[in-house]
Amino acid sequence: MIPLHWYVGLASALFCIGVCGFLTRRNLIMMLLSAELMLNAVNLNLVAMSYYLESLRGHAFTFFIITVAAAEAAIGLGIAIALYQHRRSVHTDSFTDLKG
Amino acid sequence: MIEQLVVLNPAAFSWGMITPVLPELVLLAIGVALIVLDLFAPRQRQLLPWMTVLGVSAVLLVNLGMYTPAEPGAMLRNDAYSAFFCTLCLASVILAALMREFYSTQVQSHQGEFYSLLVFSAVGMMIMVASVDLITIYLGLELMALPIYVLTGMHKKDLRTSEAAAKYFLMGVFASAFLLFGMSLLFGLTGTTNVAEIGAYIGRNNLADNASLVMALALLIAGLCFKVAVVPFHMWTPDVYEGAPTVLTAFMSVGPKAAGFAVFGRIMLAVFPELHANWGPVLALLAVLTMLVGNITALVQSSLKRMLAYSAIAHAGYALLGIAAGSASGMAAAMSYLFIYLFMNMGAFAILIIFSQGVEQGESIDSCRGMASRNPVLALCMLIFMFSLTGIPPTGGFTGKFYLFQSAVAAGYTAAVIAAVLLSAMSAFFYLRVIRLMYMSGPEQQPAITAPSVGMLVVLGIAVAGVLATGLVPGALFDWAQRAMLP
């Protein structure tokens, strides 16, 4: 059986990749994907811990997170489309209307 | 297996189980009804704000009368704490709906969607403030935030709103991921998602020195600080508050922020009381930094809306000081301060909406120039709100700050309180500048301002009465907050 630390290690690595991607990428879609990666790291963590603790709470939590992530993606892409209609770009460098 | 399936039989289902969430379900039904009415009765759209106000007030009354006893393993709990925050959040929804009535004659401004999304967000806030389980805390948080992302970006024709929505959305998702990773670590360490059980487990097993627990604490603090806009996680706030429609800015800076503080207080005081030595000083430091950044940046703003956005950051810092104290009286002081902030901030934004006349240039601080001679009553209201935001007696802002600082001194954060007093004296500079422009400079050639609508007058009446009442007779509010913190 694979020990729990491996799962937690993998989840932490995925989470860090997500954080790095979110902070370095300048495309809204790529930032959204990085955030999804972070959420999936959490899912992996919860499912592995739930399995080892023999508790169903973590599994239930994971399902809720997956559902909410889907709703978030829908809204995020909607906002990206609204932005693209105006600027023909979804790069965060073009976000220059609000400053100060 | 057979016994478990009986649950699916409607006759065997005990309907008493849903009583604790009945107010939330009713509010959900109101939200759906609003959007259906907008679709099928487009001529009656001017009734929508009043329906929202009536519906939300009814739910608020029902919720106040409902105390469900604490059950082990329950995910939601209607106690005095949730009742206090629920009143605060729903009051912000009611005031926002009344303010929005100002625009009810405008065509093509998504009337039905606005009110229904506002109500959905209110359901999320009610779930947030009543949750005692990590799962429901997360679900409430997202249900509160998702409609607000949409509301922020709803006026697609205005370039600023899409940009604000994108920034708010990205930062919100990022913060949620941090919060969730912290929650997953907590679950892995303790094997439960119930807030009280996690706290008891940590105390029982002396986990206070566990590195993973400290990591979970750090991640949770980071996530929650994003949600309530505390420095250094505040970068999104000024842009989002400036870009969003003004009614929504007023709502966002009060309701969702209070709900965020409710979760913040619940997690810090119920899960991590053993680790107060770790998080108390950190939060106190963050609170001082927040006031510093908020107040200093507000000094140089030429837009009144952006100035109020930075002032919202600074006020989150004051309230955070109460949580940092880590005591019931500190939390009670933070709660009452948030309630007073509801009145003064909603009032100030209502005046901003009237002054700006719906144009972007009107949001400049110069639109206050000579207002005392153009409309003395509105100028007097603004004077009261600005005094209260500064913290000058006899307004609510003074009593709120007084109790907050008192509880922080009692907890031993004297240096933080000295910094807070100095910074709040400094904030007088930009708040009183508005008053100086209104009273001491002559009016320019400007068109007469349109008379405020009925809803706006009600908002101003409630806000002025609230600010003065909490300033002159603060006892009732503070007693209520103290009672809410009793176990």
Residue B180 forms contact with A (CB below 8 Å)? yes
* Side chain identity at residue B268, one-letter code: M
Min Cα–Cα distance to chain A from B384, Å: 27
| Secondary structure of residue B271 in the 3-state scheme | coil
* Side chain identity at residue B304, one-letter code: L
A6, A42, A91: best to mutate for the B interface, most B CBs within 10 A: A42
* Cβ <8 Å between A79 and B142: no
What end-to-end distance do the CA atoms of chain B give, in Å?
39
Residues B170-180 as b or e (16 or more Cβ within 10 Å = b): bbbbbbbbbbb
The continuous run of DSSP H or E covering B343 comes out as helix B328-356
Q: Rounded distance, CA B273 to CA B205, Å?
A: 14
Q: Rounded distance, CA B449 to CA B415, Å?
A: 46
Residues of chain A with Cβ-Cβ distance to B135 below 8 Å are 57, 60-61, 64
The continuous run of DSSP H or E covering B160 comes out as helix B159-190
Is B6 part of any domain? Answer: no
CB-CB contact of B186 with B134 (8 Å): yes
CB-CB contact of A22 with A35 (8 Å): yes
pLDDT at B1: 44
Residue B87 forms contact with A (CB below 8 Å)? no
Is B440 part of any domain? Answer: yes
CB-CB contact of B284 with B416 (8 Å): yes
Pick B146's closest partner by Cβ from A55, A61, A71: A71
Q: Rounded distance, CA B482 to CA B332, Å?
A: 5
B412: left (phi over 0), alpha (psi -120 to 50) or beta: left
* Cβ <8 Å between B192 and A32: no
DSSP-H helix ranges across chain A: 4-24, 28-53, 57-87
Q: pLDDT confidence of A59, banded at 50, 70, 90?
A: very high
Q: Rounded distance, CA B261 to CA B315, Å?
A: 12
ipTM of the complex: 0.95
| CA-CA-CA-CA torsion sign (B152, B157, B160, B166) | positive
Can you give the pLDDT of all 487 residues of chain B as single tens digits? 455 555 566 666 777 777 778 889 999 999 999 999 988 887 777 888 899 999 999 999 988 887 777 677 788 888 889 999 999 999 999 999 999 888 766 656 677 889 999 999 999 999 999 999 999 999 999 999 999 999 998 887 777 888 899 999 999 999 999 999 999 999 999 988 999 889 999 988 888 788 889 999 999 999 999 999 998 888 889 999 988 888 999 999 999 999 999 999 999 998 888 888 889 999 999 999 999 999 999 998 888 999 999 999 999 999 999 999 988 899 999 999 999 999 999 999 999 988 887 676 777 888 888 888 888 888 999 999 999 999 998 899 999 999 999 999 999 899 999 999 999 999 999 999 989 988 887 766 566 677 778 889 999 999 999 999 999 998 899 999 988 888 6
pLDDT, averaged across chain B: 88
Six token digits for residue B322: 């109460």
Residues of chain B with Cβ-Cβ distance to A100 below 8 Å are 238, 242, 301, 303, 306
A44, A65, A85, A96: best to mutate for the B interface, most B CBs within 10 A: A65
Provide the domain count of chain B.
Answer: 1
Is B67 part of any domain? Answer: no
CB-CB contact of B55 with B309 (8 Å): no
pLDDT at A43: 95
Min Cα–Cα distance to chain A from B329, Å: 33
CB-CB contact of B63 with B119 (8 Å): no
Residues of chain B with Cβ-Cβ distance to A51 below 8 Å are none
Is B323 part of any domain? Answer: yes
Is A98 part of any domain? Answer: no
Residues of chain B with Cβ-Cβ distance to A63 below 8 Å are none
Pick B301's closest partner by Cβ from A41, A50, A100: A100
Is A42 part of any domain? Answer: yes
Residues 96-135 of B with CB under 8 A from A: 134-135
* Cβ <8 Å between B180 and A86: no
In terms of Cα–Cα distance, which of B178, B188, B228, B229 is closest to B210?
B188
* Cβ <8 Å between B162 and A86: yes
**CATH code for position A83:** 1.10.287.3510
Residues A15-39: tens digit of each pLDDT: 999 999 999 988 999 999 999 999 9
Q: Rounded distance, CA B123 to CA B195, Å?
A: 21
Six token digits for residue B140: 């409430």
Residues of chain B with Cβ-Cβ distance to A75 below 8 Å are 146, 149-150, 169
* Cβ <8 Å between B156 and A8: no
Pick A38's closest partner by Cβ from B177, B191, B242: B177
Q: Rounded distance, CA B129 to CA B136, Å?
A: 10
| CA-CA-CA-CA torsion sign (A11, A13, A17, A22) | positive
* Cβ <8 Å between B153 and A82: yes
B155, B171, B173: best to mutate for the A interface, most A CBs within 10 A: B173
Q: What is the CA radius of gyration of chain B?
A: 22
* Cβ <8 Å between A83 and B169: no
Q: Which residue has the tokens 């329950």?
A: B74
Domain enclosing residue A68, as ranges:
27-89
Pick A79's closest partner by Cβ from B165, B181, B239: B165
Residues B19-69: tens digit of each pLDDT: 778 889 999 999 999 999 988 887 777 888 899 999 999 999 988 887 777
Helices then strands, each counted (H, E), chain A: 3, 0
Q: Which residue has the tokens 């073009």?
A: A94
| Secondary structure of residue B290 in the 3-state scheme | helix
Min Cα–Cα distance to chain A from B15, Å: 23
Peptide bond into B394 cis (omega under 30): yes
* Cβ <8 Å between A80 and B166: yes
Is A20 part of any domain? Answer: no
pLDDT at A6: 92
* Cβ <8 Å between A57 and B139: no
* Cβ <8 Å between A72 and B238: no
Indicate the length of chain B as a whole number. 487
Q: Rounded distance, CA B312 to CA B416, Å?
A: 19
Q: Rounded distance, CA B135 to CA B139, Å?
A: 6
Provide the domain count of chain A.
Answer: 1
Domain enclosing residue B433, as ranges:
278-487
Residue B162 forms contact with A (CB below 8 Å)? yes
Is B474 part of any domain? Answer: yes
Q: pLDDT confidence of A44, banded at 50, 70, 90?
A: very high
Peptide bond into B452 cis (omega under 30): no
